[in-house]
């Protein structure tokens, strides 16, 4: 189904060890508006969406997994050389005790990921508006993360991810218009 190339969608560089920033990036790893939630939402919704736009959900859902991989790489690079004391100072002490350096799907406050984060109503227009909102919330979060670090390398990767959220939102808006036009068109049998 997929062809795997052992490279990220966009290069991830990190200038320094920064567990504090890693803690905030976890929001896009396992938070309500993060990449895991988006990927699962879109790949689930495609089963009840008209064929005219099903490919869009499949493509974007798959790309969200690539973004999840980028976030995981950033978190790993930001914490790989951190001492337990640095992790504790960054608010990651309980994470370290529970998971060592392993990634875990939770938000920045440490709340574990839940399927309640994803939505599927079964009405294509409703689901697409939900998707637009999800992309806009992720875009806002990426902007706040960009504002929160002085690491230009991390900012570069985050800017790429922020721009992809904008593109996804635009594509979902196009899909809404396609489905609205299709719904209004007379059907001849």
Is residue 95 marked as binding? no
pTM comes to 0.93
Rounded distance, CA 142 to CA 34, Å? 10
Burial class (CB in 10 A: 0-12, 13-18, 19+), 181: exposed
168 annotated as belonging to a binding site for a ligand: yes
Does the pLDDT at position 186 exceed 90?
no
The reply to whether 35 sits in an annotated binding site is: yes
84 within a domain of the structure (yes/no): yes
Q: Is 100 domain-assigned?
A: yes
- Does the pLDDT at position 176 exceed 90? yes
Strand, helix or coil for residue 41: helix
How many whole angstroms separate alpha carbon 169 and alpha carbon 50? 18
**Residue 47 pLDDT class (50, 70, 90 cuts):** very high
pLDDT (average), residues 20-29? 97
Which CATH number characterizes residue 27's domain?
1.20.1260.10
pLDDT for the residue 101: 86
Instruction: Say if 91 falls within a structural domain.
Output: yes
Tell whether 67 is in a known binding site.
yes
Digit-coded pLDDT (tens) for 70-120: 999 999 999 999 999 999 999 999 999 999 889 999 999 999 999 999 989
Query: 106: which strand partners?
Result: 112
pLDDT in tens, 147-166: 999 999 999 999 999 999 99
Q: Binning pLDDT at 50, 70 and 90, where does residue 125 land?
A: very high
Instruction: Specify if 171 maps to a domain.
Output: no
Q: How many domains does the chain have?
A: 1
> Which residues are the active-site residues?
35, 64, 67, 135, 165, 168
Residue 103 placed within a domain: yes
């Amino acid at each position: 189904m997929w062809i795997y190339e052992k490279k990220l969608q966009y290069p991830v560089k990190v200038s320094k060890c920064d567990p504090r920033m890693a803690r905030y990036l976890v929001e896009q790893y396992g938070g309500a508006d993060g990449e895991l939630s988006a990927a699962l939402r879109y790949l689930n919704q495609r089963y009840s969406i008209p064929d005219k736009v099903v490919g869009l959900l499949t493509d974007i859902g798959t790309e969200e997994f690539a973004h999840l991989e980028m976030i995981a790489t950033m978190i790993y690079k930001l914490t790989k050389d951190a001492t337990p004391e640095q992790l504790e100072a960054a608010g990651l002490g309980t994470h370290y005790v529970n998971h060592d350096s392993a990634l875990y799907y939770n938000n920045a406050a440490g709340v574990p990921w839940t399927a309640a984060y994803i939505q599927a109503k079964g009405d294509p227009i409703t689901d697409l508006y939900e998707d637009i909102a999800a992309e806009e919330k992720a875009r806002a979060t990426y902007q706040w993360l960009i504002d929160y670090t002085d690491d230009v390398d991390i900012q570069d990767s985050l800017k790429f991810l922020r721009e992809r959220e904008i593109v996804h939102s635009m594509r979902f808006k196009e899909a809404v218009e396609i489905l609205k036009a299709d719904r209004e068109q007379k059907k001849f049998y």
